[in-house]
Structure 1
Amino acid sequence: MPVTVFIGLLGALIGGAASIGAVWVQSYYQTKRERLRLVMEVAVEDHKRSIELAKQSGRRFAAPPVTLYLHYHLELIKVLEKGALTPEDLREITSKNRELNEAIEALQEVD
């Protein structure tokens, strides 16, 4: 009888741990999806606002593709999640965005 009780408790512990693990994994990916959705919304709004500001100022403005805004905001949120944002972090993100913009422009010239 003691062996069956032990096996029953062990099974309950394993089942409980599996349930907790499944909830944790689901929560992790749900949070990740939600973060991506929010970053996408911010990037689209930032893109729209840049175009609006350019129109209001009367300047000619070739708005970069929204993908660059998305990249910028994704990188920014990654840095913010790690801790404090530094000027070097901003320089690095901006530099990467410039490289991507140059690549996009080069590809557009080929087409």
Structure 2
Amino acid sequence: MNPEYVPLLAAFIGAIVGAITSIASIWMQSYINAKRERIKQSVSLALESYKCEISVAQNSRSGGYIHPIAAYLHYHMGLMKLVNDDKVTADNLKKLRDKNQELLLALKSEKERTRDKV
């Protein structure tokens, strides 16, 4: 190789590495920001659902059981993930509902275990 081309080749390789690093950094920031926004939307929806349940329980004569807010957050996070991945189907919604029911059962059994210890 001709010695005059070594600096040109080094500069070209450096430019390629710099461009790839810049693109990767922008992509990572975009991914993190989208995930953060999805979490914020999920939390907001979960809080609104929770407030609606409280309102319904307060206005009903028999009261009612209100699930822990973790159940609402779990459901809305899963729903936002399905929407983001463009996988909203009846089957996936049923799976999400089933997972949420498992969470509710786990939370309920945990509540009963801590109540029995007191």
Q: What TM-score bracket applies, with the shorter chain setting the length?
A: 0.7 to 0.9
**Shift in Å at residue 22 of structure 1?**
1.2
**Counterparts of 1:2 and 1:84, CA distance in 2:** 52
Gaps of 5+ in 1: none
Which string of whole-angstrom CA distances, capped at 9 and with x for unpartnered residues, describes residues 3-31 of structure 1? Answer: 21121121112112111111111221121
TM-score normalised according to structure 2 size = 0.83
Q: Superposition RMSD on alpha carbons, in Å?
A: 1.6
Residue in 2 that maps onto 1:31: 34
C-alpha distance in 2 between matches for 1:66 and 1:25: 30
User: Counterpart of 1:20 in structure 2: which amino acid?
Assistant: I
1:56 to 48, 55, 59: 59
Q: Which runs of 5+ in 2 are unaligned?
A: none
TM-fit CA distance, 1:107: 1.0
Larger Rg, first or second structure (1 or 2): 2
Q: Does 1:106 align with 2:95?
A: no
Task: Give the C-alpha shift of residue 84 in structure 1.
Answer: 4.9
Structure 2 CA distance for aligned equivalents of residues 20 and 90 of structure 1: 35
Structure 1 window deviating more from structure 2 (82-91 vs 5-14): it is: 82-91
Percent identity between the two aligned chains: 32
Q: State the TM-score, normalizing by the size of structure 1.
A: 0.88
